[in-house]
Amino acid sequence: MKPFLIRHLSGENFGRFPVWMMRQAGRYLPEYQAIRRNHSFWEMVTRPEVASEVSLLPLKTIEVDAVIFFSDILTLPYSMGVSIELKESVGPVVHTPMRSASEFALFREFDAEKHTGFVGEAQRKIISQLDPEKTLIGFAGAPWTVGAYLIEGQSSRSFDNLKQWMWRDPAGLAGALSDLGRATTQYLKAQAKSGAHALQLFDTWACEMPTRFFKDYYLPILNNILNELRDCRVPLIYFSKQTSHLIPYFDTLQADVLGVDSLSTLESLEAQTKAKFSLQGNLDPHILLTDEPTIRRETRELVAGARRLKRPAILNLGHGIFKNTPVAHARTFIEEARQLWI
């Protein structure tokens, strides 16, 4: 039998919504910080016994309905030998930025078993310990967002190199992102094989993409990935934020679920997308920094809005949980979100 979140998405009514939090296996958890003190970030990601333990950590303190696999959107390029360092309070740093299509041809050589066998091993370990009602979510970064890090080299506010490449040679950039996209497809297929019940593509920096590049070049790349993943028969989630300029072009996006930020209400997003997708979101993670009454009030508001939707929603935050969030506040959100309506 499939776990609760997946059955809920296919329309079964349980009298409550499934809920989890982006970045739930992260630095706001004291247990995460304790493990992190003894390992480098990439050690945690590549050692299956550590990655599986960290993925399951949130469940020890918080009753979330899904576990997101602990890894990073940059694991794929890292596994192919791209030198990436995670610098405290700077973010990911790529030592030799990749700025030509020929450099991206590297991703044609991607082999999930050879390069990311540790991911399959970690996911099988998670599944062997996971309550069958809980969902394992596998994920990858979407090509634009992963490409943005590889091309810029450092977390950038202006994306100068990416944007110059896009305007100078959009077809060349699209070719590079297609190579990355094919590797991403193989990577996600392998995750479904090793037990992931749903797959999420994180496209955090899609907010920076002009509509022209999106519809002429990028949408086909995304749809190639999503269409190829259809065979895996698992729900496909596409997360982006601040992409209201792109929403009019989502009518042919081949995802099942849209992960959305906190700026709009779920109802207005459903209306704008003509109820083509289930929605996942969208409590503002700042709310978890406030106080219990505010968290309860805003969560009840979110649930009430989600109940008015045509399609079954998944409750979540609108972006990753902040590292200074009190664990008790995260627990309050999950507890309130799981209240039965009936």
**By the rule CB under 6 A, 24 interacts with ligand CP3:** yes
143-152 helix and 160-168 helix, angle to the nearest 10 degrees: 110
**By the rule CB under 6 A, 277 interacts with ligand CP3:** no
Binders in 115-144 for ligand CP3, by CB under 6 A: 139
Taking CB under 6 A as the rule, which mask of x and - marks residues 319-338 in contact with ligand CP3? -x------------------
Choose which of 38, 89, 158, 324 interacts with ligand CP3 (CB under 6 A): 89
**By the rule CB under 6 A, 27 interacts with ligand CP3:** yes
**By the rule CB under 6 A, 41 interacts with ligand CP3:** yes
**By the rule CB under 6 A, 104 interacts with ligand CP3:** no
Part in contact with ligand CP3 (CB under 6 A); list of ranges 1-9, 67-75, 101-109, 289-297 = 67-75
Terminus-to-terminus CA distance in the chain, angstroms?
24
Q: Least distance from C-beta 237 to ligand CP3, angstroms?
A: 11
Q: Least distance from C-beta 308 to ligand CP3, angstroms?
A: 28
Choose which of 5, 9, 25, 76 interacts with ligand CP3 (CB under 6 A): 25
Binders in 193-252 for ligand CP3, by CB under 6 A: 202, 204
How many amino acids of this chain bind ligand CP3 (CB under 6 A)?
Answer: 22
Binders in 144-203 for ligand CP3, by CB under 6 A: 202
Q: Least distance from C-beta 130 to ligand CP3, angstroms?
A: 15
Part in contact with ligand CP3 (CB under 6 A); list of ranges 23-31, 161-169, 220-228, 289-297 = 23-31
Q: Which is nearer to ligand CP3, 101 or 203 (CB)?
A: 203
Interface with ligand CP3 (CB under 6 A): 22-27, 36, 41, 68, 70-73, 86, 88-89, 91-92, 139, 202, 204, 320
